[in-house]
Structure 1
Amino acid sequence: MADNTPDERFDRAGVLLFLAATFVLSWAAQITLVRMADPFNHIVGNAPDTLSTAVLVGIMWIPGLCALTIHCLVQRRPLRRLLRPGNETNQGKQWKGFGAAMLIIPLVTATAYGLTWALGLGQPDWNFTGLAALQGAPVHVSDVFLVMLPSSIVLGPLFNIPAALGEELGWRGFLLPRLMPLGKARAYLLLGAIWGLWHAPLIVAGLNYPGHPVAGIFMMMIACTAFGTFFNELTLSCRSVLLAAWMHGALNAQGYGIWHWMFPDVHPLLGGDTGLTGMLMWTIAALLAVRIVRAR
């Protein structure tokens, strides 16, 4: 198997500068956001708040803007290396990566919620009460599974990719290749922990783990490591930050889509796509991805 490291030496200065700039700016913006009223309305199924949504998108672009500034202006490296991370010998076909992501991400999410239901960690609301209240009309299960779910799989990533690209330019375009000289396992673990910790102010405010501000931060770090490993393998194999952004957008489309309306009362630490059930399924998917890429 070809090595996935584009740089032979660890770029300590670049990594530290990126992390300092990204965390200072991001946390300042996140703290500003959580001081606003109901910043997660659009995430939990209520009417979207335009200002909060705009601020969230801006926050997601902070890692990307920091990466672009340091990579292109400070270190004067070519933009293509940010857009195509990984070793030059890795020439995986991008269309295969997009196809795999389109199938696997919805499957993993659905399985995580199915496991949540089977273990009694959450019960489905077949009336979709929250969604019906939002729309002002009854919601039929057939419409959800025949129209809304397929739309979220195909169109969801397209709507989310402009915002997700901001994060992925930073995490998998800039940071991942610079961590790879430390070794794949260490790089993946570090990136997952950093990515999860980056969400800390939002987690404390109730994102993903409401009522569990401290445990939620550690859970988010583990969750980001689990599905981040899957993202990393496909990104480096196909050498595409755009694919990483697509996967990120697909994950958000599933995680904050119909499953939240179907399972409104999932235990935040144990069930759902970011609880233990989700981590289990993403760990399995990640290990399979590592095995498949290694066998190529």
Structure 2
Amino acid sequence: MDIDARAIEGTHRTPWPQIAAFAVIATAVAYPFRNNVIDMKDRLVFGAPFLQAVLEGIGVLIAAAILTRGFRRFWRPATYLGDAPAHALVLWGIPVAVFGALGINNDNGVDPHLFGLALGATISVYCLLEETGWRGFLQNATTPLSRWKRYLVVGSIWYVWHLSFLDAQSSLASQVEFLLILIVASYLLGSLVEKTNSVLVAASFHFVFNFLAFNQIGGVSDPGGRKLLLVGVVVLAWMPVLVHWNVRKKRLESARAGR
């Protein structure tokens, strides 16, 4: 934990000005891309909207980089790699490898394996950009708050950033539902980060949620079974990594306790 984080916890002060500045910067940068003021969806990379995804998520990274002063403040205990860098990197890379290996049919005439690789990379990078802010900066910055208040704050800012309430066709009920989903997701992903201190782990699980909930495959509606197959293989590939991580963590804790 760095000096700034210790100082915050020691005085039980939450850095609200920095949190507010983060929300404003991240949302302002995202606005033109999330609301089609600048539309890059047709600029595809091997059939995948990589550029659009990066532009939609880059505001969160920019805001986090500014408010952490280059990832030097409010960047503990959660960091990109956490307590087990190799495990975190493997977890994050597995979905890309699985999508590339199994391949995904598409309407763009791109080889299924190349398209699967490109789509997997697109979602992985996008989720990492987002999680740099939500489970990186914000989770660290809200350390002085109780758990339920912390995840309420993170989930609410996450909701505002999406700007879904600007959609004229959305209803109040759908917006309340979306807000609640993001608050619950903040709790679940935040709990993972509490155990691993890794933003990459949150990005990995965020990948699965995004893919199941929002992404069409290849510009067409592939059968839902195809999505479940891809996610199922990803989760199966994750299992030995997670088990080994847990065993390693328990051994380290036992070794420390025995000193």
Q: TM-score, normalised by structure 2?
A: 0.59
Q: Tell me how many residue pairs correspond in the alignment.
A: 204
- Structure 2 CA distance for partners of 1:249 and 1:27, relative to 1, 3 Å: same
**Residues 148-183 of structure 1 deviation map (CA, whole Å, 9 limit, x = unaligned):** xxx98x997554222222111111111111123121
For 1:100 and 1:69, how far apart are their aligned partners in 2? 27
Q: Is structure 2 residue 58 aligned with structure 1 residue 85? A: no
Contact 2:14/2:142 (8 A) holds in 1 = yes
SS at 2:14 equivalent = coil
Alignment of 1:32-111 (within 5 A): 33=36, 36=39, 50=49, 54-72=51-69, 78=72, 82=75, 84-86=76-78, 93=84
Which residue in the other structure is 1:232 paired with?
A: 190
**Residues 230-285 of structure 1 deviation map (CA, whole Å, 9 limit, x = unaligned):** 1111112211112222222232233325696335xxxxxxxxxxxxxxxxxxxxxx
**Residues 163-210 of structure 1 deviation map (CA, whole Å, 9 limit, x = unaligned):** 2221111111111111231211111112112212211248727xxxxx
SS at 1:225 equivalent = helix
Match of 2:25 among 9, 18, 21: 21
Contact 1:179/1:187 (8 A) holds in 2 = yes
Which residue in the other structure is 2:223 paired with?
A: 262
SS at 1:251 equivalent = helix
Residue 72 of structure 1 aligns with an amino acid whose one-letter code is R
Contact 2:15/2:141 (8 A) holds in 1 = yes
Residue 78 of structure 1 aligns with an amino acid whose one-letter code is R
SS at 1:181 equivalent = coil
For 2:122 and 2:38, how far apart are their aligned partners in 1? 26
Which ranges of structure 2 fall in alignment gaps of 5 or more residues? 95-103, 225-252, 254-259
- Structure 2 CA distance for partners of 1:225 and 1:101, relative to 1, 3 Å: farther
SS at 1:85 equivalent = coil
Match of 2:178 among 203, 216, 220: 220
Q: Which has the higher contact order (CA 8 A, sep 6+)?
A: 1
Identity, % of aligned positions: 19
- Structure 2 CA distance for partners of 1:157 and 1:246, relative to 1, 3 Å: farther
For 2:158 and 2:186, how far apart are their aligned partners in 1? 9
- Structure 2 CA distance for partners of 1:172 and 1:157, relative to 1, 3 Å: farther
Residue 15 of structure 2 aligns with an amino acid whose one-letter code is D
Which ranges of structure 1 fall in alignment gaps of 5 or more residues? 104-130, 137-146, 206-210, 264-295
Alignment RMSD, CA only? 4.5
Q: Is structure 2 residue 123 aligned with structure 1 residue 160? A: yes
For 1:135 and 1:172, how far apart are their aligned partners in 2? 34
- Structure 2 CA distance for partners of 1:56 and 1:159, relative to 1, 3 Å: closer
Match of 1:244 among 199, 202, 217: 202
Q: TM-score, normalised by structure 1?
A: 0.53
Match of 1:10 among 7, 14, 25: 14
For 2:86 and 2:53, how far apart are their aligned partners in 1? 29
**Residues 73-108 of structure 1 deviation map (CA, whole Å, 9 limit, x = unaligned):** 5xxx627x63x5349xxx8656777899999xxxxx
Q: Is structure 2 residue 172 aligned with structure 1 residue 178? A: no
For 1:58 and 1:94, how far apart are their aligned partners in 2? 27
SS at 1:182 equivalent = coil
